[in-house]
Structure 1
Amino acid sequence: MADKLDLRPTKRLGQNFVIDGGTVRRITRVAEISPDDVVIEVGPGLGSLTLALLPEARRVIAVEIDPVLAAQLPLTVADRAPSLADRLTVVQADAMRVRPEELGEAPTALVANLPYNVAVPVVLHLLEVLPSLRKGLVMVQSEVADRMAAGPGSKVYGVPSVKAAWYADVRRAGPVGRTVFWPAPNVDSGLVAMSRRDHPETTATREEVFAVIDAAFAQRRKTLRAALASWAGTAAAAETALRAAGIAPSERGEQLRVEDFARIAENRP
């Protein structure tokens, strides 16, 4: 199919296509897709995961940035699974910028083999603009999976961990080897499962909380008193906000939960 389309996978688009049937069946099983689910799949590529999802879901909305692949996908499904072709919607768009009104229906689940270079921003964007998403299972670079699922106190706990926790409970859901892809990447992959939860109760906006998170981890070796100085205006103002939030100024960002960051945001001077 790639030869027919004169397709050469590009690093720019993060194109590593899943070519192993067992892997796509495993992803679909672990994602726990129900017959009522509307699945959004980002970067369907040549369609292997799409074909595994279609029998399980009520609808699959495939968001593909590559116009050649977007045009080919309905043809592939019509050829390989003609009885399920009416369950597929293809949206040619950048998943980093896609809006709900472009999708035609509100997705309930995200299942995707995400391009490594944009995995975290894509997940955060979709969780933000698609409140209908209740669950997700994404395949990402192994180190990114570790960061997304990390908890406070972990060496890899950071901005992706805290921001993802704003929206969902996140966990590692298993490793994925390199040989299931074409072309094979030079890194291992991992599955990340997400289950939507209510964001922390706070008077601060999401943008205000995320600004604190960004500031806290921009200089992660520093204490929060020092790291939040520019955010608060001065180190003394940062200390005042921290104490008002019940957090020691000598703490570091990797020790705090998302609820802690929300309290700091509420107490900005």
Structure 2
Amino acid sequence: MSESVVAGRGQAALLGPAEVRVLAERFGVRPTKQLGQNFVHDANTVRRIVAAAGVGRDDVVLEVGPGLGSLTLALLDVVDSVVAVEIDPNLAAHLPDTVADRAPELADRLTVVGADALRVRAADLPARPTALVANLPYNVAVPVLLHLLAELPSIRTTLVMVQAEVADRLSATPGGRIYGVPSVKAGYFGAVKRAGSIGRQVFWPAPQIESGLVRIDRFAESPWPATEEHRRRVFEVVDAAFAQRRKTLRAALSGWAGSAAEAERRLRLAGIDPAARGETLDTAAFVRLAETD
């Protein structure tokens, strides 16, 4: 990323609370829980998100769920290419018009892809994204995040806004009560950390929960094989280990391994105490376990 967001270009007229409501009324938009729609209406918040992502001119940013365009406009101020994936056909159709109206000099930097982010593939996008920056729909945030990280290895940096509880789980470290499947799987792709908190008042409609920012920096060189088959094997073990959290790994993995005795053998082969529980293992330990025969 050759240039920092700090300086900014300030060419886009960012959206405020009044503008968000005017656009919603103009486009006939009624936010739905089904699509997890809560629109950010605070300019300082979207600037903060872009700053936390650290994206620059040479980045191709993938944005999921751009909605009315609040974050999109802030991104276009800083990068030369934004690919926005929007499942709502009405919002997808109007986003280019909003950008053309509020940032005419930047409009050619936006590409809108009408698609479900849970099903989007690399071939569906006009360019290989280098960063994912998004206010993810809270009802599908973790599945969308893991799908995109797996499908798009060109993404080096991820900065997403999710439900605060989910942000805590994604960034949790081994041994804690909230450490679990999302923590381990996110850690498969890179270094995960909490990057801030977001209050309810910056959204319309205001959600019932607080939000949090999570940053993931993908490994420059993956410490394990970056293949679909390897990831599937590791994630299978992770799912089994946390299916019954109170059980020891010897018991929890008996189905996965074929028997408790075989689970114990493979655990010992991986250098893991069979009496340990899944929440004590880091991602690397699950990888070692999945690679045993």
Q: Is TM-score (shorter-chain normalized) higher than 0.5?
A: yes
Shift of 1:29: 1.0
Measure the CA separation in 2 of the matches of 1:247 and 1:30.
37
1:200, 1:262 within 8 Å by CA — same for their partners in 2?
Answer: no
* Residue 231 (structure 2) pairs with residue 206 (structure 1): yes
* Residue 68 (structure 2) pairs with residue 46 (structure 1): yes
Deviations along 1:51-86, one digit per CA (max 9) or x if unpaired, are 000021120000000000000000000000000000
Structure 1: give runs of 5+ residues left out of the alignment: none
Measure the CA separation in 1 of the matches of 2:224 and 2:162.
30
Q: 1:82-231 counterparts in 2 under 5 A?
A: 82-197=104-219, 198-201=221-224, 205-231=230-256
Which residue in 1 is equivalent to 2:29? 7
Q: Give the paired residue count.
A: 268
Identity %: 65
Measure the CA separation in 2 of the matches of 1:192 and 1:102.
25
Which residue in 1 is equivalent to 2:262? 237
Measure the CA separation in 1 of the matches of 2:280 and 2:223.
17
Paired AA for residue 223 in structure 2:
P
Structure 2: give runs of 5+ residues left out of the alignment: 1-22
Measure the CA separation in 2 of the matches of 1:162 and 1:251.
16
Paired AA for residue 201 in structure 1:
W
Paired AA for residue 195 in structure 1:
D
SS in 1 for 2:26: coil
Paired AA for residue 247 in structure 2:
K
* Residue 45 (structure 2) pairs with residue 58 (structure 1): no
After TM superposition, the runs of 4+ consecutive aligned structure 1 residues lying more than 3 A away are none
Deviations along 1:197-231, one digit per CA (max 9) or x if unpaired, are 14433697111111000000001110000000110
TM-score, length of structure 1 as denominator length: 0.98
Paired AA for residue 224 in structure 2:
E
SS in 1 for 2:71: helix
TM-score, length of structure 2 as denominator length: 0.90
Measure the CA separation in 1 of the matches of 2:246 and 2:39.
38
1:127, 1:133 within 8 Å by CA — same for their partners in 2?
Answer: yes
- RMSD, matched Cα: 1.1
Measure the CA separation in 1 of the matches of 2:197 and 2:230.
35
1:62, 1:89 within 8 Å by CA — same for their partners in 2?
Answer: yes
